[in-house]
Amino acid sequence: MSKKIFLLFVCVFVGIAFLTMGVLKAQAAPIKLTYSNFFPPTHIQSKLAEAWCKEVEKRTNGQVFVQYFPGQTLTKAAQCYDGVVTGLSDIGMSCLAYTRGRFPVMSAVDLPFGYTSGKIATKIANEVYQKFMPKELMDTRVMYLHAHGPGLLHTRDKPVRTLEDMKGLRIRATGTSALVAKALGATPVPMPMPETYQSLQKGVVDGSLYPWEANKGWKLGEVTKYCTADFSAAYTTTFFVVMNKDKWNSIPARFQRIIEEINEEWMVKHGEAWDTSDIAGIRYFLRQGGTVIGPDKKEAARWKAAVASIIDDYVAKAKKKGVRNAQEIVDFLRGELEKY
């Protein structure tokens, strides 16, 4: 072998070696994602989201790393969904009700059907999504949905025992809960949960509609004195966990399958957490000196009748927005609630 051919062979060999090392190095580089959440870091739903991030990293052997941003530090609650669509964050968690009117199919889940459990509400929210696959969520990749336990009335100073007591009250409410507040005779004041504590404390609003968990999770039990536990008119709020579609498509299939497995597990964890945190929330509320008011059957029937029109109005308005099967969705929801 001549000296020139030998040197050429060495150069080619070294070049291939470096190229191979470069490819392997590129393949080994971890995929980095960002996750935006409006829940504060101490809230159980935030802790679960952070645990999801760690589980993804663990099961992919560090090949997918998720940087977590709780407490609106990356995007605000109301901008979270659009933030995922546009790529401000790769993943986001917030509630659909903060962009009212944008999710006409999924908003049916929030209607005041008389929810009693976050676990059941979570199961139903995901069943509605999987059955009807609404176009409104097609601009992201849905990881999973979850929904809180019964949304109930809490007031700052005035005990509410009858519908007449609702007159003139300013109640913080968003999405469907705003419709509930109005149907019960109050004036709804829309605002995201992070602003609620201060608004109640300063008397900007007289009360708020929210699940028991918020008494501890958002410390609202410190600024409310009364809870009217009328389950007949109880609503829920649906939360999304979604990923930017392009980012999802860029993840190798083997990692996508791992993430989907984790999603199935975490969906259940979130629903169960809503129920356990409701128990903690009512205990916290009572320890702060709060009073729970339980309407009798006659008064509860009045509240149920007062909010019934919200469901009928939903069907009519949803059809105008192009949701032709709105009645089918409502019937499906009623059937699932009866089943559970």
Summarize pLDDT for 47-67 with one digit per residue, the tens.
999 999 999 999 999 999 999
pLDDT at 7 over 90: no
> How confident is residue 40, by pLDDT bands cut at 50, 70 and 90?
very high
Which part of the chain is CATH 3.40.190.170? 30-103+117-146+238-276, 152-236+279-339
Q: Is 114 helix (H, G, I), strand (E, B) or coil?
A: coil
> How confident is residue 9, by pLDDT bands cut at 50, 70 and 90?
very low
Instruction: Quote the pLDDT of residue 100.
Output: 78
Straight-line distance from the first to the last Cα atom of the chain, in angstroms, rounded to the nearest whole number: 81
pLDDT at 13 over 80: no
pLDDT at 14 over 50: no
Round the average pLDDT of the chain to a whole number and report it: 93
Report the CATH fold assignment for 152-236+279-339.
D-Maltodextrin-Binding Protein; domain 2 (3.40.190)
Please state, for a pLDDT cut of 90, what percent of the chain lies above it.
90
- Nearest-angstrom CA–CA distance, 19 and 25: 10
Instruction: Quote the pLDDT of residue 28.
Output: 63
DSSP structural state of residue 30: P
Instruction: Quote the pLDDT of residue 99.
Output: 84
Burial of 229 (0-12, 13-18, 19+ CB in 10 A): middle
> What mean pLDDT do residues 84-98 have?
97
Report the CATH fold assignment for 30-103+117-146+238-276.
D-Maltodextrin-Binding Protein; domain 2 (3.40.190)
Instruction: Quote the pLDDT of residue 4.
Output: 53
> Do 81 and 94 contact (CB within 8 A), yes or no?
yes
Instruction: Quote the pLDDT of residue 2.
Output: 54
pLDDT at 1 over 60: no
> What mean pLDDT do residues 13-30 have?
52
Count CB atoms within 10 A of the CB of residue 130. 10
CA 320 to centroid of chain Cα atoms: 26
Least confident of 22-31, 243-252, 313-322: 22-31
Summarize pLDDT for 121-147 with one digit per residue, the tens.
999 999 999 999 999 999 999 999 999
Summarize pLDDT for 203-240 with one digit per residue, the tens.
999 999 999 999 999 999 999 999 999 999 999 999 99
Instruction: Quote the pLDDT of residue 284.
Output: 98
Instruction: Quote the pLDDT of residue 90.
Output: 98
Instruction: Quote the pLDDT of residue 18.
Output: 46
- Nearest-angstrom CA–CA distance, 292 and 77: 30
Q: Is 293 helix (H, G, I), strand (E, B) or coil?
A: strand
Instruction: Quote the pLDDT of residue 3.
Output: 53
pLDDT at 168 over 50: yes
